[in-house]
Chains A and B, each alone.
Chain A
């Protein structure tokens, strides 16, 4: 039961991420300069951390794949760049939600 509730929450969060907002919702969620700066700084921190993580742990591994199998490298490269966009957006949105609810 608890598991299902958690899953429903995750589903609702995912839908909220890509759901088109109404004009009223857009107006309501229109970020103030401060809120936008917070949003941006969280996202920037995540993106830069992600890059250094990849640089520290996976740089040599990526080079090896590049030398050994270009097909695998192609899909891994695509996955990394897409993940940097999608996953970090999700994490940033989740952090903002938590921060927002704490402030409220």
Chain B
């Protein structure tokens, strides 16, 4: 099939299938899925600028579908999501600016790259250990959530974070957090944004663990809220990239035919898994981010 805007010839079945896989990941884990869609589009021969913009455009539609599904299940904390958007935008811009600056200093690129790989591998290993310890009943259980299906072996850390009394304090009812400093939420969002700015995409594989372990948000609410934030941030990214001529909306619409269906399946699947099991399945995802940095360091190409 010929796509007039980007001037490419790509199989629509391949695009719909790619969207379907990304949709399931998005609905189940609350991530944008650009770490799959990006390379998937790139191998079709689509120019990199169209890969980034078109990927963001299809994420908008898919995330709307998945967020609506999570919303009716009570898995979206709108207040938290809106606050996070502010921090994410700041962090993403800072990350993108840092990349521009670091490009001038050759060795620093390597140092920062290795640092990010170490952080991502640690997150992955920690999540795998924590969720496994929770499932098998080892380790101390935190008293974070009223939800019986979402206990954690390290719940105590988020309790300590909640005790940081830095004005203004806010209440996040949907996340079952009675009091947390606004600044803590913003710092978490900025860290997620920094990874997004550095690695490209939405970096949901960093933000979701931060929401769960640092802020103490129940896993399913973290998934839903992350998706809600993705709707806003990817909408901004889509419009920004489309103005620069980087979006082939026809490709995005074909991908979305598969992604919208996949997202519905992904959301329904969360009903059948307890929080620790979702976290265990999520744990390899930060490794994909680490692989992207390794790829960038070896080839000298930025993945974003």
Q: Is the CB of B72 within 8 A of A81?
A: no
Q: Scan residues 37-58 of chain A and give those whose CB is less than 8 A from a CB of chain B.
A: 39-40, 43-44, 47-48, 51, 54-55
The stretch from A5-13, A68-76, A96-104 touching chain B is: A68-76
A50 vs B260: C-alpha distance in the bound complex, in angstroms?
A: 12
The residue on A at minimum CB distance from B271 is A30
Q: Is the CB of A77 within 8 A of B247?
A: yes
Q: Is the CB of A75 within 8 A of B239?
A: yes
B268 contacts which chain A residues (CB < 8 A)? 31, 36
Interface assignment of A4: CB less than 8 Å from any CB of chain B = no
- Which of B58, B260, B265 is in CB contact (< 8 Å) with A47? B260
- Which of B57, B254, B260 is in CB contact (< 8 Å) with A77? B57
Q: Is the CB of B249 within 8 A of A81?
A: yes
B residues adjacent to A (C-beta < 8 A):
4-5, 57-58, 60-65, 68, 71-74, 235, 238-240, 242-245, 247, 249-250, 252-254, 256-257, 260-261, 264-265, 268, 271
Q: Is the CB of B257 within 8 A of A55?
A: no
B57 contacts which chain A residues (CB < 8 A)? 77-78, 81
Given contacts A40-B264, A66-B5, A74-B239, contact A85 B64 (CB under 8 A): yes
A51 vs B265: C-alpha distance in the bound complex, in angstroms?
A: 20
A62 contacts which chain B residues (CB < 8 A)? 4-5, 249-250
Q: Is the CB of B261 within 8 A of A47?
A: yes
- Which of B71, B245, B247, B250 is in CB contact (< 8 Å) with A55? B250
Q: Is the CB of A85 within 8 A of B261?
A: no
Interface size class on chain A is 35 or more
The secondary-structure label for the interface of chain B is helix
- What is the distance, in angstroms, from B238's C-beta to the closest C-beta of chain A? 5
Interface assignment of A17: CB less than 8 Å from any CB of chain B = yes
Q: Is the CB of B257 within 8 A of A51?
A: yes
A-B contact pairs, 21 of them (CB 8 A): A17-B72, A18-B72, A20-B71, A20-B74, A21-B72, A31-B268, A47-B261, A51-B253, A51-B256, A74-B240, A77-B238, A81-B58, A81-B238, A81-B249, A81-B253, A84-B61, A84-B260, A85-B60, A85-B64, A89-B65, A89-B68
The residue on A at minimum CB distance from B256 is A84
A47 contacts which chain B residues (CB < 8 A)? 256-257, 260-261
Interface assignment of A82: CB less than 8 Å from any CB of chain B = yes
- Which of B62, B243, B244 is in CB contact (< 8 Å) with A85? B62
Q: Is the CB of B261 within 8 A of A18?
A: no
A82 contacts which chain B residues (CB < 8 A)? 60-61, 64, 235
- What is the distance, in angstroms, from B303's C-beta to the closest C-beta of chain A? 23
The residue on A at minimum CB distance from B261 is A44
- 3 pairs of A and B residues whose beta carbons are closest in the complex: A74-B242, A85-B64, A77-B249
